[in-house]
Amino acid sequence: MIRLLRIARIPVFTSAILLTGWAGYAVSLYLTTASHFGVRKFSVSGLKHMDENQLLAKAGFEAGTNVFRVNLRAIRERVEQLPWVRHAMVERVFPDQIIIKVIEREPIGLARIQGEIYQLDIDGKILDPDPARSWAGGWAGGSDFPILDGLRLGDFKANLTKVVLYRKILQDIGQNALSEVHINDAEEISVVSASDPLLVNLGATDFRNRWIKYLQLKPHIQQRYPLAVRVDLRFKNQVILRMKDEDGGENIVWDGKKNTL
């Protein structure tokens, strides 16, 4: 008798499972096809440099797409391909909204590469020119960043090293004191003051002290060597100048032992 009851229950359990599965399918079908869940609202936040239409075009989905069928991960990955986007988060809000939250890259300097002026961020990322700004003898957005020379498009590792040095030189000397920073592949730094055109070679270390030495000698150099175009401070007890249109070598004009200019 007990065995017969157990056998009788099998069709009941099977029917319950089938009914549950069908109900789940019906609900899923309704949610993914009902016009009520078509995306009608888009919300983008966090933009300061980018245009919202540019971001939505990169996101790559259309109004009316079912909110359950929107691939949030794929949208995030596409949006994060934009040069100005550092991070993105994409959410669905029922019944008909997609929200994109963006953290943009923040410019920390300017770089001159192949004659073009770019902005760059703390990661060494070369940013497309900000459409709200332009370069025409000055950065129209009011930026007072010195221009960095020495970066190359696509050379991320070397660029990052040079950006770290660029930030250090601005910290040691002050960004308002400089108009240009040149960093070569040997990681030696030369700078141009915001107040005069002399190129000052500071070497690879001790930037602040060498800059102070230059400021102390600057009036004497300007007075006695008005044709000087470059000052080399890499050596502890010497100051070396290169003159304008000089074909030969450089002149040692200050010797620490003699303490004369």
- Span 71-85, pLDDT tens digits: 999 999 999 999 999
Residue 64 belongs to a domain:
yes
Distance CA 173, CA 208 (A): 6
CB neighbour list of residue 132: distance below 8 Å, 6 or more residues apart: 49, 141
Measured at the alpha carbon of residue 119, what is the angle toward residues 106 and 88, in degrees to the nearest 5? Answer: 40
- pTM equals 0.74
Residue 20 belongs to a domain:
no
> What tokens appear for 235 in the block?
């050596």
- Asked whether the beta carbons of 173 and 193 are under 8 A apart, the reply is no
Domain that holds residue 64: 37-104
Residue 221 belongs to a domain:
yes
Residues 242 and 138 reside in one and the same domain = yes
Q: Which of 104, 139, 156 is the last residue of a domain?
A: 104
Q: What digits encode the pLDDT tens for the residues 216-253?
A: 999 999 899 888 999 999 988 888 998 887 655 566 66
The pLDDT of residue 256: 55
Q: Which of 75, 104, 133 is the last residue of a domain?
A: 104
- Asked whether the beta carbons of 140 and 130 are under 8 A apart, the reply is no
Residues 72 and 98 reside in one and the same domain = yes
